[in-house]
Chain A
């Protein structure tokens, strides 16, 4: 099983709609979870950390489900500027590194 798995999409979303996607991880001992955003031909940038209790930042909501080993990201009221690839990132416990998923590509359509 891959360390981090994401459905690459693309997810074509009408402007103003809600989109959600999950990411599964294989290492049950992982402690840190993040969503990064990567625009085309740019570097990844932190979107938000994911906490056990779930957290919200404006239109973005992240959830963690340890029992099923997945994290989720929900984007409400999608804007054209939300078009990007969203990378799921998980620390590999016992190993000083992060594992990156391939990303969920989101395309917001006018």
Chain B
């Protein structure tokens, strides 16, 4: 059982380049999330989705876009990468909504992104 799979695992970008991070889950979860984790800070929510075809902004959405065309996939895009976006990115999914039953989040292994 793969759970939550993120690709790529590592990436180095130059300022201004674009890229897409892919998250795939095989648990039939409705809810999916993208977080970033920086040294000395807790995980911060970038965007999330409550179902196929829906997306919503989290705490730190600027500079990122997302799409959820299929239930099992959640894509995070950086249109014009900046050094401030150097971080570790985690995708997560859950069966139910935050605060409700089934709201335990399962995380992917992360993507380490450096923007030079």
Assuming A49-B104, A91-B98, what are 9 further A-B pairs, CB within 8 angstroms? A42-B109, A42-B110, A44-B90, A46-B106, A87-B42, A96-B97, A96-B98, A97-B33, A101-B42
Q: How far is the CA of A1 from the CA of B107 in the complex (A)?
A: 27
- At the interface, yes or no: A4 with Cβ under 8 Å from chain B? yes
Are the C-beta atoms of B56 and A100 separated by less than 8 Å? no
Contact yes or no, A98 B98, CB < 8 A? yes
Q: A32-B99, A97-B58, A97-B98 are in contact. Are A43 and B90 (CB under 8 A)?
A: yes
The answer, yes or no, to whether A93 is at the interface (CB within 8 Å) is yes
Q: In the complex, which range does the number of interface residues on chain A fall in?
A: 20 to 34
Contact status A32-B109, CB under 8 Å: no
Q: Is the interface of A mostly helix, strand, loop or mixed?
A: strand
Contacts of A32 in B (CB 8 A): 98-99, 103
Contact B108 A43 (CB under 8 A): yes
Provide the residues of chain A in CB contact with B45, threshold 8 Å: 97-98
Q: How many angstroms between the C-alpha atoms of A102 and B107 in the bound complex? A: 17
Chain B: interface residue total (CB-CB under 8 A)? 25
Contacts of A91 in B (CB 8 A): 98-99, 103
Specify which chain A residues have a CB less than 8 angstroms from the CB of B99 in the assembled complex: 31-32, 91, 93, 96
**Contact string, B94-116, partner A, CB cutoff 8 A, digits 1/0?**
00011100011111111000000
In whole angstroms, what is the CA distance A42 to B33 when docked?
Answer: 17
Cβ contacts under 8 Å, A99 to chain B: 42
